[in-house]
Structure 1
């Protein structure tokens, strides 16, 4: 799958979702081919080299209503945040952590303090709740205490060549539309507890916390 194929697939996904012109417009504006290519290649090389790559989505840090909405096993949001933090603490400082959208809701400063406490080389694949309704993304300029970027990249999608030449596509929205790949492995979020069945050409892996209740190690 080339970058152009991945971008075309992503545009088709957006067309099937509820209209969010400003949000989706920003996602497309952040589709930087050089950055997406560099991060995707780094992830592919890490996996080919036997390194651990971690993936999760839909953490909704700081979002109290998600507990009832998804029947999460927490009494209140502080306990949920603390549990998520403990789970992500297993990531080693040089390992990749890919968050496939919807990182946090609620107080932004508190959420940023939370994510700064998490180790690893962090990549955010944007979800609809990672941008304001006007399309503004608050994560782009966030930094670590030493002034380094908090995220290695903030992108709308990733893609690389997987096992046996299979195309791998990472997106918050599931890739339920037609595509050019002969075989596609789609790591996605957005659906919370829903798990999609595989089709003849697409295998879906919902990496959302409400499916895994933890982190997926690729």
Structure 2
């Protein structure tokens, strides 16, 4: 595998998210096409993407058509808007992996949709989505919602370097 990326809360096909989150798009079609282009501009075929939930509001065929257009090996951690469809639905829609629960990445990063409770004595970082334009202060949370990152997936190194001082050379 090549590089590893993280992103969340695309809400493909969800026209109301444009108003809810003040997204700069005229309609859902423009939003979807822009987000697909931004994903493919940074993610290559040999890369892996952890999508931290709330991927699509579309039916399975239309969701699958989007998943097929996105580069990389795609691992979905189900978000609150994804869970009603179940893990198998997302696998059938084209994700390579789908997790119903948070996972631990590199023994240090908790990957989840909703932010997890992290007290100040914990050395870990929670990489999450769900809260869109909001942001938690401090070093224990890293919000990868599309609104914070110009609708573009972030590399693991971008996240690591932002939350673990002195790790840039690792």
Cα pair 2:118 2:140 within 8 Å, conserved: no
Name the residue aligned to 1:139.
Answer: 90
Does 2:66 match 1:66? no
Cα pair 2:67 2:95 within 8 Å, conserved: no
Q: TM-score, normalised by structure 1?
A: 0.64
Write the distance in 2 (CA, Å) between the matches of 1:168 and 1:136: 24
Write the distance in 2 (CA, Å) between the matches of 1:160 and 1:117: 26
Name the residue aligned to 1:105.
Answer: 57
Does 2:127 match 1:187? yes
Write the distance in 2 (CA, Å) between the matches of 1:192 and 1:177: 19
Cα pair 2:128 2:142 within 8 Å, conserved: yes
Structure 2 unmatched runs, 5+: 157-170
Provide Cα deviations, 1:126-180, integer angstroms capped at 9, x if missing partner. 1011122xx63421333xxxxxxx3231012221336xxxx2100001012559x
Cα pair 1:53 1:96 within 8 Å, conserved: yes
Matches within 5 A, 1:88-103: 88-90=39-41, 91-103=43-55
Residues 73 and 127 (structure 1), Cα distance of their counterparts in 2 relative to 1, 3 Å cut: same
Normalized per residue, which structure has more helix?
A: 1
Q: CA RMSD in A?
A: 2.0
Write the distance in 1 (CA, Å) between the matches of 2:98 and 2:106: 20
Q: Aligned to 1:140, what secondary structure does the other structure show?
A: helix
Q: Aligned to 1:139, what secondary structure does the other structure show?
A: helix
Task: Select which of 144, 150, 154 maps to 1:216.
Answer: 154
Q: Aligned to 1:174, what secondary structure does the other structure show?
A: coil
Matches within 5 A, 1:66-85: 66-85=17-36
Name the residue aligned to 1:6.
Answer: none
Write the distance in 2 (CA, Å) between the matches of 1:187 and 1:136: 22
Write the distance in 2 (CA, Å) between the matches of 1:212 and 1:76: 20
Q: TM-score, normalised by structure 2?
A: 0.81
User: Which consecutive aligned stretches of 4+ in structure 1 deviate over 3 angstroms post-superposition?
Assistant: none
Q: Aligned to 1:84, what secondary structure does the other structure show?
A: helix
Q: CA deviation at 1:206?
A: 0.3
Structure 1 unmatched runs, 5+: 1-45, 143-149
Provide Cα deviations, 1:10-38, integer angstroms capped at 9, x if missing partner. xxxxxxxxxxxxxxxxxxxxxxxxxxxxx
Provide Cα deviations, 1:159-215, integer angstroms capped at 9, x if missing partner. 1336xxxx2100001012559x840111000000000011xxx52110000111222
